Structure 1
Amino acid sequence: MPGVPLTSHSELRQFMCSSSSSKLSSCNSHHCRDRRASAVSLALPRTPLSARGAPSPPAMKLHASRACAPKVATPLPPSPPLVLLLLLLLLGVTGCWGQGEADNSEGDGSTPGVDAAEPAVKVRLAGPTRRFFEGRVEVYFNGEWGTVCDDDFNLQSANVVCRELGFTGANTWAHSAKFGQGSGPILLDNIYCNGEERSLIQCQSNGWGVHDCKHSEDVSVICLEKRLPGFEGHEDISNFVEMLPSERLFTEVRLKPVLRKGAKRVPVTEGVVEVKHGGRWSRVCDAGWAEEEARVVCGMLGFPSHRVFDAQPYRAHLKKRTHGYWMRDVNCTGNEVHLATCRFRTVPARNNVTGCRDGGPAVVSCVPGPGYAHSHNSGFRKAYRSEQPLVRLKGGAQMGEGRVEVLKNGEWGTVCDERWNLVASSVVCRELGFGAAQEAVPGARFGQGTGPVHMTQVACKGAEKSLTDCKFSEVGGNSCSHREDAAVRCHVPAMGFETRIRLTGGRNEREGRVEVLVDKGNGKHKWGYICSEDWRTLEATVVCRQLGLGFAAQAMEIRLTGGRNEWEGRLEVRRSKRWGTVCGDGWTTLEAMVACRQLGLGFAVHALTETWYFQGDSGVEEVLMSGVQCSGTEMSLAHCRHHGSRVKCKRGGGRYAAGVVCTESAPDLVLNSRIVQESAYLEDRPLHLLYCAAEENCLSASASAMNWPYGSRRLLRFSSQIHNVGRTDFRPKAGSHAWVWHQCHRHYHSMEVFTHYDLLTLNGTKVAEGHKASFCLEDTSCEPGVQKRYECANFGDQGIAVGCQDIYRHDIDCQWVDVTDVAPGDYIFQVVINPNYEVSETDFTNNAMKCNCKFDGHRVWMYNCHNGDAFSAEVEKLFDLYPGENNLIS
């Protein structure tokens, strides 16, 4: 056999083996950097692994190739590697051992050398402040987690990892510990996959624990966000439905209220079941129809349950009418999240009218959750509100979505996303009064929680009344962090509010002038403005939610017009079939949050009190809504207080109409209460050291009457550490051109009111307060692997990045409360972040922290420090008579 001659004897010395060497990896060798340039290229037969650690048979066929590009190897009877090496050198064969084409002669479709029944190895993505689909690759072997070296890793290997984790594939991969260095053993090296393997253990490698790497070479992957259908760790309804054959595919279900009594009811809770297939609505034959099928339909439409009712009026109404059927013999268990995942038969098009002679159209009556119940259910709603919920959702922009938190021993905590799936998510959704789950969301995509992690490996059957009824494991040690907090997106009833408000004139769909639609009578409608007097970010948030970026309104439609995209524009409202604008007076972040929620546009970035650049509809100039005041949690602007039909807008509409700019995600600031409790102390500070503080008005009023520079002030000092646990950076509302230069501190302050420090009596009366005039926002410290982005020095940009903390030490100016004039006694010490809601956040309820404070005139004790929403109402009462402020506006 002809061969390629060796160019020099030195090339033989690249492999120094002994007769006891069982594989080339145990020989001293140089790496083959340029594999295609090698005249003779030899490679170790890297073997597939078993989950129990035993390698598959190592010997492989040899295939001639000038390049040592790895390929799937097929088994051969074992041969000593040294003998094969000498044989190859003598024959001059150009080839790569263990890297040939797969031999599929057996035709069983299995990966060579791997037992088809072999269980998959555990794989996870780790690393600081990562998104749920990216991170450092870690595998579990022999009782511990370890990392994977980046040698020979490629996109095919990344595809295998991502599919094993439930994603459809990999977007890219990263070498050199991009997501931080691991701390355990390095378990795998020189991994090669052809991309078709179902598990990482089916790929070739050096074997468990055999490597020549450091943790600086840990490999990471970034997967595609789309999930595989049926994956246990995370599921999305669309994945199930999209995988159905086209002839059985349908995505929408509705209840058609054919009877007059339910024609105008919102939401529609009763009617004939129809499915949309091939662009047409068709009915479902009720042959074999039972309560299980009704439960699935109601869950898809946002209702937690169904009810048994008298369907005879429907049968009488529909008896003499012809119907087009597409679906029959539906068989569900009742726990499915989509009717398409149940067993059913399709009715051929030629028989769509006669295909249900043994039945009639399926009719369903659903029971709405407390938040959507009609007024005649007021008694039920009152009973519901009086109960202490065991589960809540936090951090979501829209109704029915957010991070899952459970109440245990009076303290709220999160749920780990390990094994989190649609079944468990649906139990949560129904428990909270929504329908089935649309998506089981892992990876803290709605922000990280701050309390304990109460549950992991939740396993529900689907019929449980509460998540606490499901089987789960306790979280031990550091097995699950808040970077793995589970969340849900639930089906919610269609209220139709997003079409009654609009944004106009914005640069995009998420910003613009607010306009409303008003009915002028005689079937005529008109768009008009909302008065922007006192228009705040809170009002703007309401608008964004109403536009489909959040909650919905009851009797008022809203829209955005004139924006550059769908996320911005002037807000327009429809009232009585007439569109008009919203007065910008008094429009704040809270109102804007509700608007964005109603529009389905997430959170509000800006609450615009003037919309000069959002022209909107030229025929919409009338102000139809003014005096809007929202708490920020409403479903629509109609649920907020306003002037009603008596519109009062000083500046009028037009350029002074309200507008919003919405965004998909927002920051979330949380104060570290433990730091406050541990750092509090008293200091008598001489007046000659307080000139800068006096200039910034950081002292009580009595200080001005003292004989400066003689004397001192008694200060309650403490440190505060403010974390951003949200999904985007916290940025000041004002641009850098509006920041204020402070000569004493030699830097700019970007927010005049960022935090309130208050000392209160037990009945809530303020006896002293911090007078810190303004704040400079920066990343003082960050989590491992997170880079600082903001700093106050050197005229730097200001803000708090995700995963970072802004720390105000106890020894800096104005980081105190002047208690010189306070009498000894028991008090409540309270800190509130972002008190004026100037910047939108995913959750305002965790912005307040309070402590019990005992002051004897010379010493101070802080105890029971906690965030405002950390405990149940019953436990909260135990702290003291006054519950403190928790940003919940009633």
Structure 2
Amino acid sequence: MDHLLLLFMLLWSSGLQAAGELSTEPYRLVGGESRCAGTLEVKHEGEWRPVWGYDSPWTLKEAGVFCKQLDCGSAVSVRERKESSERPVWWISSLCLQSGSALRECAASVSSPSIVTLTCSDSVRLLGGTSLCSGRLEVKSNQSDPSWSSVCEADFDQQDAQVVCRQLGCGAPSVLQGALYGEGEAPMWTKEFQCGGHESALLDCSSASERNTCSPGTAVSLTCSEPVRLVGGESRCAGDLEVKHLGDWRPVGGYYSLKTLKTAGVACRELDCGSAVSVRERESSERPVWGMRPSCVQSGPALRECAVSSSSSSTLTLTCSDSVRLLGGTSLCSGRLEVNSNQSNPSWSSVCEADFDQQDAQVVCRQLGCGAPSVLQGALYGEGEAPMWTKEFQCGGHESALLDCSSASERNTCSPGTAVSLTCSEPFRLVGGESLCAGDLELKHEGEWRPVGGYPSLRNLKEAGVLCRHLDCGSAVSVGERESSVRSVWKIISACVQSGPALRECAYSASSIHIVTLTCSGHQGAEAEPTGGH
């Protein structure tokens, strides 16, 4: 286990006594342009030393713990610096920290040529948002006596927002709105910012118009776009996944990559491209990439926060659903249907139940890579706030995408409670057993049926029971592995599938001589193909 990674992920998740004590620990950033940038050092046994960086690729998420505790805003960059020779550093024992001990009690003296350098945002921060790139804007002008202030909406415009987003290492501003992330309790900044949009920091901008009052509900909230893109595909919603981090666009790949639809779907949502339909590894020449920690990505939408520098000969290619998505359901295969007809400027619409039938549903389920439709019902997953699609779909059922279908009958109204909700079956089955409720577990993923097998796939009755219930086969009686000839399998990330029956979201391609066998309790004499085996 990566010792420092575990340490700072534990601090970030705030389940430990040590996280609460961190602010009293003697540590600092030295050698940078301000007190909020430089080499991370800890004082232990009366001696200041840098923290060991060897074999510990930090992400912005872990580094942000220190920026926050130093009252330095959020993390903008974290790097490992190699020195010409080894020097004494502090190595931190993660096992010690888990016991609830303070940081200084877990430090051990070692030698290493690698140390961690960190840059924080210093004078701006976004609070209360979903990532480092969204939240209520606060500004600090005095580094020696830090005091953060909110900014009045009337004193801040799109050019000012461009500067803040650039200063934080984020993409261009996408939403600028008062009080979107709450008002907060900070005092109000008293001058209007007048940025040209090219400045590197907000406090480099000129300011004018001293203001004494600001109307309630008008403290600036800002959302910057996440610097993510798909390149080389047929549309902006397909291609090789690239992330801009530390000023550098690189493909995503390597050991720490996103492997499942569940984690890769974060990129689709950030790009407003619906949900993930396929994610594959593509072999290329060895090159620098951004590796992604899946456990980090699953907790939020910010790929940049989860990036670590790596080298790899494989990169990820991703296809998103582009023009359809299901929201509010239990998996990618269920939810309230929304449609998008404009890829250059996405705008999603709900669909009226009267304009949608079983053949239309077949097309949507196929487009999303799911099994056949099993439930088609208005407002099962809520009404949502999207505008209503104005035409009736007329699919034959064979089309590959909903927008390939013809449409007619312009509609101006739709009764409340009739926005289409759809559940597609999960495409898995049991084969080769004495009934359709026993046998080898197979999954259809990326258009291909393969057995499920190999560690870390399903291994206990609790996880297997989810599948039996979904197949209408009662409860799990036994689950095991059997040896088979070497073949391609879908491996399942066990922790992913515990939340529901969506094997497809938790699968990735691998090779194994072991495949999962499952016996369920119910309907042993069934002759028809069970739900999900389409």
Q: TM-score, normalised by structure 1?
A: 0.22
Higher-strand-fraction structure: 2
Report the structure number with the largest CA radius of gyration.
1
Q: TM-score, normalised by structure 2?
A: 0.33
Which one has more relative contact order, counting CA pairs under 8 Å at least 6 apart? Answer: 2
